[in-house]
Structure 1
Amino acid sequence: MHLHEELLDGEPVRWFEHGDGAPVVLVHGIPTSPRLWRHVMPLVRGRSLALEMVGYGSSIPDGEGHDLGLAAQADRLLRWLDMVGVEAPVLVGHDLGGGVAQIAAVRAPGRFSGLVLTNAVSYDSWPIPSVKAMQRGAPVLRYLPETVLYPSFVQLIHRGHDDRARALESIGVHWQHYVAHGAARSLMRQVSALRVEDTIAISDQLPSLGLPARVVWGDADQFQKIEYGRRLAADLGTTLQPIPGGKHFTPEDHPEVVAAAVNELLKATDAAPGRERSDEE
């Protein structure tokens, strides 16, 4: 994966790229970064672009003084697509990134060729209880030392993984950004920006979206329950693909399943009338 950085409206925006061919845009959630997709991108048969949301990962410092809510992130995503000149990508989202993907697709359905959601926030499924507790305590919690916050971070990651080795890897990959930029302040800034109204506001438009879609869900997820995955699949006119025993961080534990869903849409859109094939199958 290659890291790219450019200025969007005078401010830095970062993303990872891998491969070539038909474009795929991937959006991460919390408490992760674009590296959430590190095992998915090599399996995708196209040009993968994993966007780093402002206020997350190495862009944590850039979130200071900015709206980090999902609706604002969706607006940045659309402006970034204009900047990089990516046309008709398959849009993929996990966790908060799934909410961002839904909002962006509703706002500009003609900009995308398909939508893949995996264990995504939606409707009123979020914030989860632990995040609500952090929101309430943010004025105090933002001053906690890293040594106090780290065990909670580790527990959260383990609860969201069914593959222990990948959980341990994930902790090292994602915690480093919080350590580098002030863990408590960074995390509290992120959670304080979360508003369930962002997904509720567009939920009634999902059934009329009209985009080819796939919904892939770890059926043992304690954070985003599979009932919400079923509802999303029904509204998007597709069939839910459960991952038996899978938990929340599906792109890390089950990258082959997520990539297969993306590749299905790439193949379908490449074969659509009026579009040339962009990779060899």
Structure 2
Amino acid sequence: MTGGGVREEQLALNGETVRWLEHGEGSPVVLVHGVPTSPRLWRHVMPLVHGRCLALEMAGYGTSIPDGSGRDLGLAAQADRLLGWIDALGIEAPVLVGHDLGGGVAQIAAVRRPDRFSGLVITNGVCYDSWPIPSVVAMKRAADVLRLLPQTMVYPSLVQLFHRGHDDRSRALESIGVHWQPYVTHGAARALARQVSDLRVEDTLAISDRLPSLGLPARVVWGAADRFQKVAYGERLATDLGTTLRPIPGGRHFTPEDHPEIIAAAIDELLPSAAARSGAPPGAQSRAR
């Protein structure tokens, strides 16, 4: 379900169906979600951004949960898919934005192909050895058992996670409904077990020493009260990316949902560099297909 001018798009790429949500026109912005969310994490951010937003759905998440079967869902593999998708669409020099696991995917993709991007925005993203968080470690260890659990046993855990990750209670309640739906449709326990099984901290550790030399304009925005990704990691990441951390006082983990205007403002600051790289003025770049 989409609204407010958000479009659902998809294409076949290397034997996989790649799906994304799209909104707006102009300089391109690619947004990558984390777990346990989907491209709809960005539903309140996209209408506020003055550019063409493309929110990628990672393989094995959201409506693409069934497509994760038998595929590597680790961050490095997701970064490869992201780069292939950008090339297939012909998106020129997008600003790359990532949250949670998507923050790690964005870092890996940017390190591998810095020439493909005009800027990088990370908000409460995994980095270095900041992850997996204890609850995810527990799910990884118990994946074989987790797959067999009824959805009624999984739901309370996800509800608790969302409440701990939001500082806006009303937005937390909205988000539970938004993000639980794909799990209900495709089997919550099996989907979560599949998602966490391939998560490897080595994927971010492998590229961490290359972040200081990345050379891309960057913004790091962080919910200062995040219980999952501590603000100290955001400070370290900002330093390595050559920028200053922008803390959100009282903000928790799900900043794109609780504080979309702050995230959108950080993205907009980098759009002039995207326009310069693509050769088009902000708001006027044609959509590549």
TM-score by length of 2: 0.95
C-alpha displacement of 1:17: 0.4
Question: In structure 1, what is the Cα distance between the partners aligned to 2:271 and 2:195?
Answer: 32
Residue 166 (structure 1) aligned with residue 162 (structure 2): no
For 1:154, the equivalent position in structure 2 comes to: 159
Measured at CA, do residues 56 and 274 of structure 1 come closer, stay the same or move farther in structure 2, by a change above 3 Å?
closer
For 1:267, the equivalent position in structure 2 comes to: 272
Deviations 1:126-185 (A, max 9, x none): 000010011111111110000111000100010000000100000000000001001000
Question: In structure 2, what is the Cα distance between the partners aligned to 1:183 and 1:269?
Answer: 38
Deviations 1:6-61 (A, max 9, x none): 10112211000000000000000000000000000000000000000000000000
Deviations 1:92-126 (A, max 9, x none): 00000000000000000000000000000000000
For 1:90, the equivalent position in structure 2 comes to: 95
For 1:276, the equivalent position in structure 2 comes to: 280
**Moved runs in structure 1, 4+ residues, more than 2 A?**
267-270, 272-276
**Residue range with higher mean Cα deviation, 139-148 or 65-74:** 139-148
Question: In structure 1, what is the Cα distance between the partners aligned to 2:278 and 2:16?
Answer: 37
Measured at CA, do residues 82 and 273 of structure 1 come closer, stay the same or move farther in structure 2, by a change above 3 Å?
closer
Q: 1:36 is paired with a residue of what secondary structure? A: helix
Question: In structure 1, what is the Cα distance between the partners aligned to 2:200 and 2:283?
Answer: 39
For 1:48, the equivalent position in structure 2 comes to: 53
Question: In structure 1, what is the Cα distance between the partners aligned to 2:272 and 2:237?
Answer: 22
Correspondences of 1:117-136 after superposition (within 5 Å): 117-136=122-141
- Note the aligned Cα RMSD (angstroms): 1.1
Question: In structure 2, what is the Cα distance between the partners aligned to 1:273 and 1:103?
Answer: 21
For 2:30, the equivalent position in structure 1 comes to: 25
Question: In structure 2, what is the Cα distance between the partners aligned to 1:269 and 1:4?
Answer: 22
C-alpha displacement of 1:277: 1.3
Question: In structure 1, what is the Cα distance between the partners aligned to 2:37 and 2:74?
Answer: 15
Q: 1:39 is paired with a residue of what secondary structure? A: coil
Q: Which has the higher contact order (CA 8 A, sep 6+)?
A: 2
Measured at CA, do residues 259 and 36 of structure 1 come closer, stay the same or move farther in structure 2, by a change above 3 Å?
same
Q: 1:60 is paired with a residue of what secondary structure? A: helix
Q: 2:91 is paired with a residue of what secondary structure? A: coil
Output the amino acid matched with 1:278. Answer: P
For 2:221, the equivalent position in structure 1 comes to: 216
Question: In structure 1, what is the Cα distance between the partners aligned to 2:35 and 2:280?
Answer: 36
Q: 1:134 is paired with a residue of what secondary structure? A: helix
Question: In structure 2, what is the Cα distance between the partners aligned to 1:273 and 1:36?
Answer: 27
Q: 1:245 is paired with a residue of what secondary structure? A: coil
For 1:77, the equivalent position in structure 2 comes to: 82
Question: In structure 1, what is the Cα distance between the partners aligned to 2:142 and 2:53?
Answer: 38
215, 230, 234: which is aligned to 2:235?
A: 230
Question: In structure 2, what is the Cα distance between the partners aligned to 1:56 and 1:149?
Answer: 16
Q: Is the 8 A contact 2:119 2:273 kept in 1?
A: no
For 1:115, the equivalent position in structure 2 comes to: 120
Output the amino acid matched with 1:137. Answer: A
Question: In structure 1, what is the Cα distance between the partners aligned to 2:186 and 2:153?
Answer: 16
200, 203, 209: which is aligned to 1:198?
A: 203
Output the amino acid matched with 1:127. Answer: P
Question: In structure 1, what is the Cα distance between the partners aligned to 2:168 and 2:282?
Answer: 34
TM-score by length of 1: 0.97
C-alpha displacement of 1:218: 0.2
C-alpha displacement of 1:273: 8.2
The percent identity for this pair of structures is 75
Question: In structure 2, what is the Cα distance between the partners aligned to 1:242 and 1:14?
Answer: 31
C-alpha displacement of 1:278: 2.8
Q: 1:157 is paired with a residue of what secondary structure? A: helix
61, 67, 78: which is aligned to 2:66?
A: 61
Question: In structure 2, what is the Cα distance between the partners aligned to 1:11 and 1:122?
Answer: 27
Q: 1:4 is paired with a residue of what secondary structure? A: strand
Deviations 1:188-218 (A, max 9, x none): 1001110000000000000000000000000
Measured at CA, do residues 278 and 248 of structure 1 come closer, stay the same or move farther in structure 2, by a change above 3 Å?
same
Measured at CA, do residues 149 and 68 of structure 1 come closer, stay the same or move farther in structure 2, by a change above 3 Å?
same
